[in-house]
Structure 1
Amino acid sequence: MALGAPDCQVYDAPVNDRYGRDVLAGDWKAARGGRATPIEAETGLVVEDVETGWCGAVVAVEKAGGMQVVHLEDRRGRVKGFPLGPGFLVEGRPAVLTVPTARRKADLAQARKAASRTASGSIAAPRTPARVARRSRLFVEGRHDAELVEKVWGDDLRAEGVVVEMLDGVDDLAALIRDFAPTADRRMGVLVDHLVPGTKEYRIVEEARRVRRYAQHVCIVGHPYVDVWESVRPERLGWERWPTIPRGTSWKHGILAELGWPHETQADVARGWKRILGTVRSYADLQPELLGRVEELIDFVTVGASGGPIAGQDG
C-alpha cells in the first residue's frame, strides 16, 4: 500500500466538554417543576409538604403562635400542622398556600363586629365631644374595684358622663350618704364587696338603710366575693375555682402564694393585681354576680329609675 493518507473513513469527533452546558443559559432562577403559584388553602385541597413529604387534605387554617397554620389530614386520619406559605406541592407543582378568601372576609367581619362593641358588650357609641359629667356618682370600695370597673365599663360610663369615685372602705357608709346628700337628679350608686348575711359589710348596709331621708336616691348593691379579685373567672388564671385561704392569712397574699407569684409586700400585691387585671379582656371574663350588680348601678344613676329602699345583696 502506498504511503499517504490512511485508508479509513474520517469522522468528526465530538468535542469533549468537561464542564457541560452553560448553567446560566435560560431561566436559571426557575425552580424545578415551575415557579410556586399562590393557592388558597381551601378545605379539602390535597397538598404535600416538600420538606417532610407529608401529604394530606386541608382540614383547617388557624392563627397560632402569631402565625397562620394549615392542618393536613392524611389517608390514615392523622392530622399535622404546617406554617402557611411556601414549601408545598399541589398536583406535583410548587405552591404557596394562602389564607382562603372566605376566611379572610370572615375574620375581617368578626374584627369589625368586635370593634363595634365595648368591653362590657354594649354597642359602641359614635365618637362625640366629651360630655359634661352627671351630678350622679358611682362609688366603689377601693382602687382595684375602680380599675376593674374602668376596664370593662369605662367606655360606657364616659359616654353617659358618669364619674366613678373610690371610697377608702365602707365602714361609715351612713355618714358618706349624709355627706353626699343625694337628690333625684344627683343619685348615688355604691358597690360593696362581700355583701352576704352575717358579714360586717351586711351590717354596715343595714345601718345605711336607716338613713331614710335619702333612701330613694341611693342604690347599694354588692357581690358575694371576699375581694373584687375573686369576681374574675378562675379559668383566666388556670384554676377551676378560686382557692380557699386559711383564716389568719391575708387573703390577697394567700392568693398570690397559690399562684406562685411574689407575695411578701404591698408592692407585690399591687403587681399581682395588675397581672390578674391583665387577664380580663371583656365582661365575659367576669363572674355574673358582679356583672349584674354593676349594670344595675349604671342603670340607676343614668336611666332615672323610680328609686326605692336601699338594696342589699343577700349572696
Structure 2
Amino acid sequence: MADRYGGDVLSGDWRRPPRGRSRELPAEPGTVVEDVETGWCGAVVRVEKAGGVHVVHLEDRAGRVRGFRLGPGFLLDGAPVTLVPPRAAQDRRLADARAAADRTASGSRAVQGQRARVAAASRIFVEGRHDAELVEKVWGEDLRLEGVVVELLEGVDDLAGAVRAFDPGPGRRMGVLVDHLVPGSKESRVVEEVRALRPWAEHVLVLGHPYVDVWQSVKPARLGLRAWPVIPRGTSWKHGICAHLGWPHDTQADIARAWKRILGSVGSWTDLEPELLGRVEELIDFVTAPPAP
C-alpha cells in the first residue's frame, strides 16, 4: 500500500543549508572566491597575519585588492567554503611530492637521513638578496648537503675587490653569479677584469645570465604573463614591472612584497628559465669539485 503521507520529513540531513555545508579550503594564491557579505569576487594574492588575525587579500578583475578576515563566509563556484591558511596544505603537498619523486626542488636526487655538512671553504657569491633567496629556494638542500654557503656582494662594481678580500686558492674556490652579463654591458667589463686577476683567476669562476634582474629568470607564465614586459630606459626596472602588473610600487616595502609574490610562484627548477639553471648548476659543480692532485 502506498504511503499517502510520504516519508519522514525529519529523516536525513534536514538541517543541511540549501547551498550545502561549508568545507575548508586552503587560501592558495590564484584561488577565486566570493565574499558572501559584500559580493566581492577575486583571486587570492596573499594571506598575512595582522593584529593576531589572518587576513586574506583578494584581487578582482580590475586589479583592485581588498582584505577580508580568513575563515567562513566565502563561496567557491557557488558552494560555501571556509578559508584556512595555506601553509599546512602547501607543506603537506610538498612533502608528499618530494617523498614520491625522491627529488629536491633543483631536480637532484634527494639524500635521506644525512645531515648538512660543516661549511666548506669554497663559496658562491650573488649580487643581491633576491638572487640569494631564489638560489636558496631551489638549490638550498643541495648546497647544505655539500656545505656550500651563498654570500651577498651587494652589486658587482667592485668585484675585483671582493675577489682580493676572499683570497681564493686551491680548496677555496669562488663562484660568482652576475645579473645581465651580456656583451658590451658594464657587467661584462667588470667580469673581464676579474678573469685577468692574478694569482686568483684560476680559482674563480664568474658566470651570468642575460636578465636585467633575477626576477626575469622566473618563467613569466607563472605570473600569468606571456612574456616579461619591456621597461623603458630611465624607469626603475622593478618599479616598471610592478606598475605593469598593477601592483603597489611606491615604497621599498611594496617592492619587497612584489618579490615575495614572484618567489612564491616558484616551486622547483621547472619554474625557472634554463639560462639561470645552467649557470647555477655549473657554479655548484665548480665550487664542489675536489682539489686537483
Q: Which TM-score bucket, shorter chain as reference?
A: 0.5 to 0.7
Q: Which has the larger radius of gyration?
A: 1
Give the deviation of 1:304 after TM superposition.
3.1
C-alpha offsets along residues 242-286 of structure 1, whole Å, 9 cap, x if unaligned?
A: 100011110000000111100111111111000000000100000
Identify which of 223, 242, 251 aligns with 2:228. 242
Structure-2 residue corresponding to 1:37 = none
Please name the residue that 2:276 is paired with. Answer: 290
Q: What is the TM-score when the length of structure 1 is the normalising length?
A: 0.62
Q: Is the 8 A contact 1:117 1:124 kept in 2?
A: yes
Equivalent in the alignment of 2:118: 132
Higher mean displacement: 122-131 or 240-249: 122-131
1:216 maps to what in 2? 202
Q: Which residue of 2 aligns with 1:303?
A: 289
State the TM-score, normalizing by the size of structure 2.
Answer: 0.67
CA distance in 2 between counterparts of 1:262 and 1:20 reads: 66
Q: In structure 2, the residue corresponding to 1:240 is in which secondary structure?
A: coil
Structure-1 separation of matches of 2:193 and 2:98: 48
Q: Tell me, yes or no, if the aligned pair for 2:116 and 2:146 is still in contact at 8 Å.
A: no
CA distance in 2, matches of 1:110, 1:177: 40
Match of residue 150 from structure 1: 136
| Matched pairs, number | 212
Correspondences of 1:1-315 after superposition (within 5 Å): 112-114=99-101, 116-304=102-290
Indicate how the Cα distance of structure 1 residues 142 and 110 shifts in structure 2: closer, same or farther if over 3 A, else same.
closer
Query: Are the structure 2 counterparts of residues 198 and 20 from structure 1 closer, same or farther at C-alpha, using a change threshold of 3 Å?
Result: closer
Shift of residue 113, structure 1, vs aligned partner: 2.3
Q: Could you tell me how far apart the structure 1 residues matched to 2:291 and 2:235 are?
A: 41
1:47 match: none
Q: Counterpart amino acid of 1:249?
A: T
2:55 counterpart residue number = none
**Structure 2 CA distance for partners of 1:176 and 1:253, relative to 1, 3 Å:** same
Q: CA deviation at 1:112?
A: 3.5
**Structure 1 residues 236 and 109, CA gap change in structure 2 (3 angstroms):** closer
C-alpha distance in structure 2 between counterparts of 1:305 and 1:223, whole Å? 27
Summarize the Cα distance change of 1:188–1:29 in structure 2 as closer, same or farther, 3 Å threshold. Answer: same
- For residues 197-250 of structure 1, give each alpha carbon's deviation from its aligned partner in whole angstroms, at most 9, with x where no partner exists: 111100100111220211111110000000000000000011111100011110
Equivalent in the alignment of 1:16: none
Please state how far the C-alpha of 1:109 moved relative to its aligned partner.
Answer: 9.1
Letter of the 2:290 partner, please give it: G
Change (3 A) 1:122 1:254: same
The CA deviation at 1:110 is 6.4
Cα deviation code 1:121-156 (max 9, x no counterpart): 111111223321100000000000000000000000
CA contact (8 A) 1:299 1:305 kept: no
8 Å CA contact 1:234, 1:241 repeated in 2: yes
Which runs of 5 or more residues in structure 1 are unaligned? 1-18, 31-64, 67-81, 83-107, 307-315
Indicate the SS of the match to 1:124: coil
- SS state of the match for residue 154, structure 1? helix
- Tell me the secondary structure at the aligned position of residue 254 of structure 1: helix
Q: Distance in 2 between matches of 1:240 and 1:20?
A: 64
SS of the aligned residue for 1:219 comes to strand
Q: Secondary structure at the match of 1:205?
A: helix
